[in-house]
Structure 1
């Protein structure tokens, strides 16, 4: 069991104090606190095993499968989905066109919003052309994660003044990308909500941890890094209708396949969508789960992904403290730094 594996390695004391998010960039905080972080030697084997174990725990959270039912053998449902995954990897075009379409407006609008030459009124008119988009953006502005004051934001103009152009651009990107995970059957909405929450957290963390000139790119990359996982889940939804009653995705093998294959599929989808190379390359590097990426952007998403998974599992009381210590050592974060970000992520 993953818990036993980590308990053999560490014994971490409890901490009751919780840090408050201050708004200081995470890059500066990491530089200030780097010498205070606990020194934990992590072998390459331990790193690979801990990340696979983390992913398995995370999928258990998403699927809400009792741990007592987890097995090492794939059932018929899982075998069918894994076969579909292999077909998808050999023909990502079919997935991109029929299963998971990138909203046509997302790159076009993002490009316009990145133009510093566009006037404020012109920018507002551009956004207001889509009333549904306006509603979604205002909801995001007033959400606990992003609300800046006690009063609600009631217009795009007010949002632009209160959160700024860069933040508003990110909000619009989020609202457009949200269309990717439109899971209609009620039974599957929990997964959709949790995987989207994770994508939002990774986007937020990637933006927080990146340098100022990389924030917009890292935000969008964080938002899209799990599109392969979303595509696979949609395949799973279709397979449920043909499955035997009671069959659930609960094997360790299936969870590991979801981890490794979904990242590869994300990179292939990015290529088919003709995203800029600075998106496709990091996704391709992240697909190799056996090594820590050395590319700056890929490393950023890799760290943000681990922090988000740890945060969501910790909130659900499913992450042993020894496991957290090992994973934080890999991303070079102290427990204090993590708890501070964790308090912010709870609002997502």
Structure 2
């Protein structure tokens, strides 16, 4: 199945008390070390200890420079926790003020999904946004997605060569990038890494399902919008923080993961996207279990594969940890290695 993936891409929580949640892709079981050779009776063998891998906590080390092993939140983080709880109780405010969905997404996606819609009218709708047109053409001609040596120079040409489904993914991707972008230079790394991760998950999810790959792609692309919303709340909290105060506790990373999925589901509901996305994000928000079947399972697996790939690329994942995590992805090491070579191009 994964060899096919390389022949095509888009076809291809005053004091705040917070219980430490389990993370999105935490693995509960322990890795069982191989049997050791028989040792002399007077020598006690050293048994290697490989604890459960919290890959999501490791993943946040790619996003934040400061890491603490403890779970004590500082005042900045407590401020953010309060803001997150308020956002969960009033998603309309967060959607209107912090993370506003580009207005064209729903309209364009609906027309692109309708095969009977007029092609010329569709192109006119896209061309009304010059920046969107440029971004779509850049994606079409990027080394990762380019199909031939001939450069695509117009949207009409792109539609003819790539087809409606490909253009639909490119348009949605370009619009969602505006939603995810983090402006301040110091935090640009967070935005770029989350965006890269979202792109990888979208691609992988669409390849892991046999039906409705377009919905799988969209779900993968939007599953982390809650993280972006929480991070933007963090930027607001910095205005009241002590100089030099940073989000650095492991608890903060865990809370971002657990709460962000619930917030993603609420945002999708307020944005009035198809109900399937809220339902599947709701399943993903049950973070102490792996979803069984459907789009949620595909995104769960895709999320884990992407996190493993990005951590391995950054040299933050040990070989034993990777092998243990791959047991949950449903792919073997050779299949992962092939995917990893593809994902590092994102």
Q: TM-score, normalised by structure 2?
A: 0.84
TM superposition shift of 1:131: 1.5
Aligned residues of 1:92 and 1:269 also touching (Cα < 8 A): yes
> In structure 2, what is the equivalent of residue 168 of structure 1?
167
Kindly tell me: are residues 50 and 20 of structure 1, through their superposed partners in 2, closer, same or farther at Cα, counting changes over 3 Å? farther
- The runs of 4+ residues in structure 1 deviating greater than 4 Å are 42-47
**Distance in structure 1 (CA, Å) of the matches to 2:9 and 2:99:** 34
Aligned residue for 2:48?
A: none
Q: Which has the larger radius of gyration?
A: 2
**Higher-RCO chain (CA-CA 8 Å, sequence separation at least 6):** 1
Give me the whole-angstrom Cα distance separating, in 1, the residues matched to 2:4 and 2:208.
17
Partner residue of 2:244?
246
Note if contact 1:25-1:209 (Cα within 8 Å) is conserved in structure 2. Answer: no
Please tell me whether the aligned partners of residues 205 and 304 of structure 1 are also in contact (alpha carbons under 8 angstroms).
yes
Alignment gaps of 5+ in structure 1: 1-18, 29-41
Query: 1:21–1:340: 8 Å Cα contact kept in structure 2?
Result: no
Q: Distance in 1 between matches of 2:217 and 2:313?
A: 23
What secondary structure is seen at the aligned counterpart in 2 of 1:301?
Answer: helix
1:20–1:276 distance in 2 versus 1, CA, 3 Å: closer
The alignment of Structure 1 onto Structure 2 pairs a total of residues equal to 312
Task: Classify 1:195/1:75 alpha carbon distance in 2 versus 1 (closer, same or farther; 3 Å).
Answer: same
Distance change in 2, residues 1:209/1:244 (3 Å): same
Counterpart of 2:155 in structure 1 is: 156
SS in 1 for 2:340: helix
* Displacement after TM superposition at 1:70 (Å): 4.3
Pick one of 297, 322, 325 that aligns with 2:323. 325
| Greater CA drift, 269-278 or 313-322 | 269-278
Which of 227, 236, 240 is matched with 2:234 structurally? 236
Contact 2:181 2:192 in 1 (8 A): no
CA distance in 1, matches of 2:70, 2:27: 27
Instruction: Give, in angstroms, the shift of residue 158 of structure 1.
Output: 2.1
Equivalent of 2:290, from 272, 289, 292? 292
Q: Which moved more, 1:131-140 or 1:242-251?
A: 242-251
Instruction: Give the one of 277, 280, 289 matched to 1:279.
Output: 277
| Equivalent-residue separation in structure 2 for 1:44 and 1:54 (angstroms) | 11
2:120 aligned partner: 121
Whether contact under 8 Å (2:28, 2:52) holds in the other structure is no
Instruction: Return the alpha-carbon distance in structure 2 between the equivalents of residues 169 and 244 of structure 1.
Output: 45
- In structure 1, C-alpha distance between the alignment counterparts of 2:250 and 2:176, rounded to whole Å: 30
The reply to whether residue 265 of structure 1 matches residue 274 of structure 2 is no
Q: Output the CA distance in 2 between the equivalents of 1:273 and 1:120.
A: 26
Shift in Å, 1:21: 6.3
Whose helix proportion is higher, 1 or 2? 1
Segments of structure 2 that go 5 or more residues without pairing to the other structure are 13-25, 32-50
Distance 1:44 1:108 in 2: 42
Kept after mapping to 1: 8 A contact 2:200/2:306: yes
Q: Give RMSD over aligned pairs.
A: 2.4
